[in-house]
Amino acid sequence: MDLFSYRNGELYAEDARVAAIAAEAGTPCFIYSRQTIEAHYDRLVAAFAPIDPLVCYSVKSCANLSVLRVLAERGAGMDVVSGGELFRAREAGVSAAKCVYAGVGKTDAEIVGAIRAGLGLFNCESEEEFENIARLAAAERATVRVALRINPDVDPKTHRYTSTGKKETKFGVDLERARRFFANYGRDPHARLEGLHLHIGSPIYTVDPYREAMAKTAALVEDLARDGFAIRSIDLGGGFGADYESAQSPALVDYAAAIIPIAKPLHDRGVRFILEPGRTIVANAGILVTKVLYTKTSGDKRFAICDTGMNALLRPSHYGSFHFIWPVAPGVALTPARRAPDPGLAGTVPQDVVGPLCETGDFLALDRALPDSIARGDLLAVFTAGAYGMSMASRYNSSPLPAEVLVSGATAEVVREREDYAALVEHERAPRALALEAAQEVHA
């Protein structure tokens, strides 16, 4: 569900005309709908109410400060995977105590920064990392809380790049190792190992992998209890789907119905649940608006050449992902009734929607049924672009990063200015000589 809809043949973001936003903010730009973000968050909280989870929004999915603030105002915590994301979360007004920090490669500086900030929970991914967190916590004379990321060996049936819960990924430790992990580290005085964390993949379009992972986790909790270790928190990660096509994803209540029967008895015994949703909150809450610079035919192929491509939205070219694309002002006859590879309207021809970059892989869609009438100067909306759009955008070909706009009702705010050329070179203007003391000593 989202609040991007066509009225009289023209696209609106909530009650604001997308064409009017693009005219003022320029293209390419991302447009986010505040009310969609809020509705998704509220729906998630309501669906999981029986286990009263702390919802830690996954900052990596869309890290704009204003988006983070919308969620912070609703009481969300944040799931971070780097010092940079923790910085953003705190800038948005979220206390570090409401942040959980995952990631296989935390640096010493990031760990110490998180300890000093008062991080809520480290989600630890390996034995060496645990030893490092414990060592740094001791040096800081601090006590930190740690959850072990387990790898329940469940197949989430998603793209192999974003499948994380199978044994052969770099994430977490497998279930057999988890008990040994607690036996070895479960009594550390500075790094209190008291939780379990899992995240099996993203996006996951069936509820069964969650049921399976939750069941394995519950069994592990019992095993650990027999070994003398009480689990205080379980972080189930994220991965819930979004509607790239109309009605593609299970509803949040469906995911909840699979998880809650197994989770509730643990909740009732005092286990605190955490969720780390990103995509399901922001994906449908954002569109990317791009302008058609040229149309062209090569051989039998039609192209719409746009002012952005894989630099603003990497997902189609990187994962082969589908994003519905349609003109911002197609007119009433060409208003799509559903988002699908072919929405079934007369007057369309297959076209590649490509960006300006010097790469054949720079595309937003291939062989897509789009109105024959698409012409130079038209605006196209790329839907379900709120998650992993701007957060994965690059400056390839020295393209300044796009603007971001947040809409609420009929009002719109630029929440990230479009970069200018000066921003492209600001860290390169003044080369700085390195001392290289060691090398000088060797040659002295």
Q: So which residues are the catalytic ones? A: 358
Stretch that binds ligand LLP, among 83-91, 244-252, 253-261, 273-281 (CB under 6 A): 273-281
Instruction: Give me the least distance between CB of 440 and ligand LLP, in Å please.
Output: 43
Q: Is residue 98 part of the contact set for ligand LLP (CB under 6 A)?
A: no
388 in contact with ligand LLP (CB under 6 A): yes
Per CB under 6 A, 79 contacts ligand LLP? yes
Rounded least distance, CB 116 to ligand LLP, Å: 23
Choice from 162, 206, 295, 397 touching ligand LLP (CB under 6 A):
162
Of the residues 40, 98, 106, 279, which one makes contact with ligand LLP according to CB under 6 A: 279
Residue count, binding to ligand LLP (CB under 6 A) = 22
**CA–CA separation, 87 vs 102, rounded Å?**
14
* Minimum CB distance to ligand LLP smaller for 99 or for 328: 99
Stretch that binds ligand LLP, among 198-206, 346-354, 365-373, 436-444 (CB under 6 A): 198-206
Please say which residue, 40 or 291, places its beta carbon nearer to ligand LLP: 40
Provide the minimum distance between the beta carbon of 238 and ligand LLP in the complex, in angstroms, as a whole number: 3
276 binds ligand LLP (CB under 6 A): yes
Q: Which residue is nearest to ligand LLP (CB)?
A: 238
238 binds ligand LLP (CB under 6 A): yes
Q: How far is the CB of 389 from ligand LLP (least distance, A)?
A: 8
Kindly identify the residues of this chain, within the stretch 199-218, that bind ligand LLP according to CB under 6 A. 199, 202-203
Does 239 participate in binding ligand LLP (rule CB under 6 A)? yes
Among 27, 33, 36, 58, interactor with ligand LLP by CB under 6 A: 58
Q: Binding of ligand LLP at residue 278 (CB under 6 A)?
A: yes
Please identify which residue in 61, 163, 284, 311 interacts with ligand LLP, judged by CB under 6 A. Answer: 61
List residues binding ligand LLP (CB under 6 A): 58, 61, 79, 102, 162, 199, 202-203, 237-240, 276-280, 315, 319, 387-388, 392
